[in-house]
Structure 1
Amino acid sequence: MPDQIYLLGNLMIMMAYAAIMMAILVPVSRAGQLRTNKLAVATAMIFFSCAVGHGLHAVMGYRTIMSEAASLHGHPGREWIWAMASWDAVTAMIGVYYWSLRRGYAVLLGPGAIYVDPWGQHRINEANARETAAREAAESNRAFLATVADHIDDAIIGATPRGIVTAWNRGAERLFGYPAEEMIGRSIAVLTDPDTMGHQRSALARINAGETDIHYTGRRVRKDGTRVDVAFDVEPIHDATGALSGVAVVARNVTAAVEAAEQQRAMAERSHQAQRMESLGKLAGGVAHDFNNILAIITNYTEFAAEQCEDKPEVRADLSHVRTAAGRATNLTRQLLTFTRGDAIQPQLMDLNPAVAEVQAMLARTIGEDIALITVPAAEPVSVVADPGQIQQVLLNLAINARDAMPGGGTLVLEVNTAALGGDEIDMQPPLPAGTYARLLVSDTGEGIPAEVAEHIFEPFYTTKPHGRGTGLGLATVYGIVTEAGGSINLYSEPGIGTTFRIYLPLAESAAQLDTSRSRPAPRDGAGRTVMVVEDEPALARVVTRILGNGGYHVVTVENGPAALAADAEHPCDVLLTDVIMPEMSGPRLVELLREGRPDLPVLYMSGYSNGLLGTTHVIDEDIAFIEKPFTGPDLLQKLQDVLDEVAGASARQ
């Protein structure tokens, strides 16, 4: 029985070693490593020798069983004993050889190969080390670049080709007010208002069409509703296959540069206008002087001829028409000389209130019953040094133009008051230094003046009236008189609504001293209160935003009434500063809707029209808080403070 167990055990071990040998040789052979992978071959030889040895043991066991069956004293032959000993010696030597190879290998099985020889493993290790070092260097560079991108002032934005934000650095957070977690995954269109949406769509379309290096400037909307001018540099991002995978955008705030450029443009335009007016003045002056010489000849020879034709009434009648025409030409040249400051004037200290009263008396008889003439004198004398006749001529010219602009009737308002200028107003012709000035306002509810006409309105001989009804010298004369007196003119007009001319004249010294003595202290800080500014003129809206921001207020700027309602519903404001006349919705209508939920909302109106005109035409109530354009920063802050103080006082009394 033990011999049978011995035979069966050796057979099983032999089969196991043979299976292991084949499990090693088959993959090594398929990998083409039978000659190069010595460790694998040695390992297979060991398992082969073991399988053969156990096979021999099985044969001997079998013979022993058979011998015992034939003879009770049967023993294995001596030749088999020597065969087993010899094979065991071979197995021992193969084991020694295997052990010597095994010590030179770190592993028997390596990643990516069945068996790897030491030299091959060495090269693989070197390659892995180089790859690891390169990967670590790339990660370090990427981390460094990410840190740099996150800390620069410019906004760096990554987006998909369809405009979905995928990257948003801190510069973008500072510029647009949105944190990264709010913007990533959203469309970049959230920053765009309807007016500039086309620029962004065009840039994305050009990127998707294969263009590179795209630059443009546009206005964007920050999270708090304010608008900012931004310069964009847009580049495509391609993957390893060259396909478009995204868009890289670098954006920087250029609001200050745009405002500076606009101010520079306005200053250049004013300078150009002044040069043009000076050139035209010299030309007109030369023409007037020469024309006066011709008129003197015509007039005198007409008189000579009339004296010699006393018995010829028909001829004298004809000469009378010549004299009349010469008289009209003389008046024309007088206006030219006034425009060119060549006419003799007699400046004196005068009060503007009586001058307006005299003009009202003259106009009341001639202006027409369908026009309501209203005068708003100043509460106290407003003294200037000027020629009274010329001041009346200014008022008459402006009033007659206003009458002609209201063929179907309307309202004409003449006002007298004082105003403080900051020295940086952009619509003054010519510009004036900062200070307090006397102001005459002539406002009408007529047809208005288009912008293209307003550019030339003070040029001599420029007129839009039908042929034979205007000389084109009325407003040029007004310009000459005002500038001769050291003053300036501001024109504000909207077609179909009306026009306001503001005449600024230096106050006489006593009046200026009186006004200075009444100056109030500087306005208090806004303490972070939110002011909603509703203004449809972007340049003026930016100026107001800067004034209020510097005054300590938090400013939300919108361009019309519906936008104001939406912004207030999201973040209610503490005080409203709104234009009176706007497209889509007027200022009073906006206030009416906002006060349905908040009856005590403080409101300050602003307009390029005078308060007298708006009040008399019932556009707004006469007792509301109102500030006229153009205004200075201190005036606006003080007026806003007065409105807040008045509302606070009313609440305290209640």
Structure 2
Amino acid sequence: MTIVPEQLFLLGNLVIMVAYAAIMVAIVVPVRRAGQLRSNKLAVATALIFFSCAVGHGLHAIATYRSIVAAGAPAHLHGVGWSWPSAIWDLITATIGVYYWTLRRGYGVLLGGGSIYVSPGETHRIDEADARERAARDVAESHRATLAAVAEHTDAAIIGVDLQGRITAWNGGAEVMFGWRAHEIIGGPVSMIGDESGAEQQVEILARINQGERHVAYEARRLRRDGSPVELSVNLAAIRDSSGAILGASVVARDIGAAKEAADRQRALEERTHQAQRMESLGKLAGGIAHDFNNILAIIVNYTEFAIEAGAGNDDVRADLAHVRIAADRAMNLTRQLLTFTRGDTIQPQDVDLNAGIGEVRAMLDRTIGEDIALFARPCDRPLVVHGDPGQLQQVLLNLAINARDAMPDGGTLVIEADEAELDGEQLNMQPTVPAGRYARLQVSDTGEGMSAEVAAHIFEPFYTTKPRGKGTGLGLATVYGIVTEAGGSINVFSEPGVGTTFRIYLPLATTEAGAPVPVARGAAPPGGDGRTILVVEDEAALARVVTRILTGAGYRVLTAGTGAEAHAIFNEKGCDALLTDVIMPEMSGPRLAELVHERAPGLPVLYMSGYSNGLLGTTRVLGEEFPLLEKPFTADELLHRVHEALAAPTFSRAPSGPRETGAPR
């Protein structure tokens, strides 16, 4: 059978149609298997092109077939089913299909979004780009791992908090600082580490972060798991997602309790240094004035004597001159006090028993102090021998007693005591400072008007007085200061307005070489706390921090409160093994707090502390003499030993009950 051109044209179109259909299937099948019929638009478009070409060649084949059938065989060359241009075009498209198929064998099909075929060279470039991206991801992941390790092991507490106040992150520093493990606290409210006021502050800070504030820094007090407080410096920063929306806050908290204590001590040391410098300057000024004034007084006194002798027989003139002489004597007494303050007066030191001095002063005061003031003298139970001028030491006690009398115009209680004390050389409120050692201690306490801190800072300056004009010279306490410092001692003053005042005078014992006190004989180390809980009640924040640090370092758990009411609430909530409380506090006294605590826990040990002497508190019935009292200032060893004694005592210390006498400290 002879094949005519129309039959050849029909066959060619059928072959090309099938080939294009096969190519379309070769594209669509892997794309479909990859699930990219909708996402890989380029692959689908290419498949549609080959599909349309296959349909076109199919239509050519149908048209040719109809022409052959209509014309019969043999077909004429001029039949309508085909033409030379169509045949040439079909040949070209067939060649393109063959070319595509050969390329397909050397190119990989890339079923990624946006592309079908990638050449070998392009594949190499893409692989290099992928390798660079993977390396960058590895570096970033390494940096994140390093940062996470740093955050986890830093001493600072790093905490993540969402906008609802829930904890989302908790590093190792937070575990050490607060005592909570990460799995115990993550997901819980941030109020778990704060009291009521702290929780309100946290809500306010998170609201500021949510409103767009980028960074917040502040200081705050938070609570550890055991209820003990921790002073913190806190920095908050907003946490944002990739779109910039605020998700929460990162919190970095550092314990600044030790730094605050150091700052308090440094400030006190600077104030003490300034006080010493001021007193030295005033001493030089007063000494110069006293010496010059003594020269003038010598002239006045002698010429007055001359005039008195010359005025013999004229009684009126002699009487007037006698008044001049009396005034000159008073002026000489003032200059003598100034010289004492500046250590410029002649003294005759010798060994003196302070007990004997207290007895002599009491005998003088009994006749002069007034019936409305109760006077108590408590000498030491053993001799207290110091090296000093007897007259000057007696003057110290008289000056302090007279000041106490003047501070109690409506009556009150005056207590003079003597005992031994041990100083560690670290007390910050001593004027001037003295080395560590054992000292004789004189205490003069009253229930008078008291002094503010501003007044107490100037009381030893010459001519400084709070008395009305004409009622005082301002030299009494300056004289006391000069006598005590000349004897190598120091003074401590504790006073509160409306409560009273206690002066403590420390003098080296006579067995100690002048200027070189014997080092403190340290006893056995105080026993550890063994995790027992002490509730410390002290309204002086700096002292509360010191006590907390001492007790915590010895193994005790410490709960602190600034007022009696706050302490009572903490006790009801958390309990304690012993109560260490100040005696005199605003609103609620230490004894009253002890009464309330003993209603719930009758056997709870109580140790009192006060800046007032035990003799004064016992005499005025604020605190019975049988109750344990730790007198301020105290050393760390004294505190720990007394706390241990209170815990080990077979009987507890109940607070005194009953009304308080008029004039007693509040």
TM-score if structure 2 supplies the norm length? 0.80
Structural RMSD (CA): 4.4
Is this contact kept in 1: 2:161–2:169, CA < 8 A?
yes
Superposed counterparts of 1:336-347, under 5 Å = 336-347=338-349
Partner of 2:627: 624
Q: Deviations over 1:340-383 (max 9, x none)?
A: 11212222222211211111111111111111111122122222
Q: Residue 358 and residue 338 in structure 1: after superposition, are their counterparts in 2 closer, same or farther (change >3 A)?
A: same
CA distance in 1, matches of 2:536, 2:357: 38
Which of 486, 508, 512 aligns to 1:506? It is: 508
CA distance in 2, matches of 1:305, 1:196: 84
Q: How many residues align?
A: 614
Which of 546, 551, 557 aligns to 1:548? It is: 551
Partner of 2:3: none
CA distance in 1, matches of 2:267, 2:618: 35
Partner of 1:377: 379
Partner of 2:332: 330
The 3-state SS of whatever aligns with 1:490 is strand
Is this contact kept in 1: 2:165–2:206, CA < 8 A?
no
Point out where structure 1 has 5 or more consecutive residues left out of the alignment.
Answer: 1-13, 67-75
CA distance in 2, matches of 1:263, 1:193: 30
CA distance in 1, matches of 2:605, 2:335: 54
Is this contact kept in 2: 1:527–1:552, CA < 8 A?
yes
TM-aligned CA deviation for residue 134 of structure 1: 4.3
Q: Which moved more, 1:598-607 or 1:114-123?
A: 114-123
CA distance in 1, matches of 2:206, 2:459: 41
Superposed counterparts of 1:453-472, under 5 Å = 453-472=455-474
Q: Deviations over 1:440-475 (max 9, x none)?
A: 111111111101001101001000000000000000
Partner of 2:483: 481
Superposed counterparts of 1:61-460, under 5 Å = 99-100=101-102, 102-103=104-105, 106-107=108-109, 110-113=111-114, 122=123, 134-159=136-161, 165-180=167-182, 182=185, 186-187=189-190, 190-191=193-194, 194=197, 205=208, 208=211, 216-237=218-239, 240=242, 246-460=248-462
TM-aligned CA deviation for residue 48 of structure 1: 6.5
The 3-state SS of whatever aligns with 1:415 is strand
- Is residue 572 from structure 1 mapped to residue 575 from structure 2 by the alignment? yes
Query: Structure 2 counterpart of 1:295, which letter?
Result: L
TM-aligned CA deviation for residue 207 of structure 1: 9.4
TM-aligned CA deviation for residue 403 of structure 1: 0.9
Q: Deviations over 1:239-269 (max 9, x none)?
A: 5555665544433233323322222222222
Partner of 2:533: 530
Q: Deviations over 1:105-132 (max 9, x none)?
A: 6558x45448566689958777666655
Q: Residue 193 and residue 423 in structure 1: after superposition, are their counterparts in 2 closer, same or farther (change >3 A)?
A: farther
TM-aligned CA deviation for residue 201 of structure 1: 5.5
- Is residue 637 from structure 1 mapped to residue 645 from structure 2 by the alignment? no
CA distance in 2, matches of 1:146, 1:638: 45
CA distance in 1, matches of 2:520, 2:269: 32
Partner of 1:42: 50
TM-aligned CA deviation for residue 642 of structure 1: 1.6
Partner of 1:559: 562
Is this contact kept in 1: 2:606–2:652, CA < 8 A?
no
CA distance in 2, matches of 1:516, 1:113: 88
Is this contact kept in 2: 1:163–1:189, CA < 8 A?
no
CA distance in 2, matches of 1:170, 1:649: 41
Q: Deviations over 1:495-519 (max 9, x none)?
A: 111110001111121899xx99997
Partner of 2:496: 494
Is this contact kept in 1: 2:423–2:438, CA < 8 A?
yes
TM-aligned CA deviation for residue 603 of structure 1: 1.3
Q: Which moved more, 1:377-386 or 1:246-255?
A: 246-255
Partner of 1:614: 617
Is this contact kept in 1: 2:420–2:441, CA < 8 A?
yes
- Is residue 586 from structure 1 mapped to residue 594 from structure 2 by the alignment? no
CA distance in 1, matches of 2:563, 2:540: 10
CA distance in 2, matches of 1:163, 1:298: 83
Q: Deviations over 1:299-333 (max 9, x none)?
A: 11111111222222222221121111111111111
Q: Which moved more, 1:150-159 or 1:302-311?
A: 150-159
The 3-state SS of whatever aligns with 1:440 is strand
CA distance in 1, matches of 2:412, 2:74: 145
Is this contact kept in 1: 2:437–2:519, CA < 8 A?
no
Q: Residue 39 and residue 328 in structure 1: after superposition, are their counterparts in 2 closer, same or farther (change >3 A)?
A: same
Q: Deviations over 1:496-548 (max 9, x none)?
A: 11110001111121899xx9999753322222222221112122112212222
Q: Residue 211 and residue 466 in structure 1: after superposition, are their counterparts in 2 closer, same or farther (change >3 A)?
A: farther
Q: Residue 459 and residue 45 in structure 1: after superposition, are their counterparts in 2 closer, same or farther (change >3 A)?
A: same
CA distance in 2, matches of 1:517, 1:216: 42
Q: Residue 516 and residue 423 in structure 1: after superposition, are their counterparts in 2 closer, same or farther (change >3 A)?
A: closer
Is this contact kept in 2: 1:398–1:442, CA < 8 A?
yes
Query: Structure 2 counterpart of 1:431, which letter?
Result: T
CA distance in 2, matches of 1:314, 1:540: 65
Q: Deviations over 1:587-607 (max 9, x none)?
A: 112212222222111111111
Q: Which moved more, 1:636-645 or 1:223-232?
A: 223-232
The 3-state SS of whatever aligns with 1:505 is strand
CA distance in 1, matches of 2:143, 2:198: 41
Q: Deviations over 1:242-297 (max 9, x none)?
A: 56655444332333233222222222221221121111111111111111111111
TM-aligned CA deviation for residue 147 of structure 1: 2.1
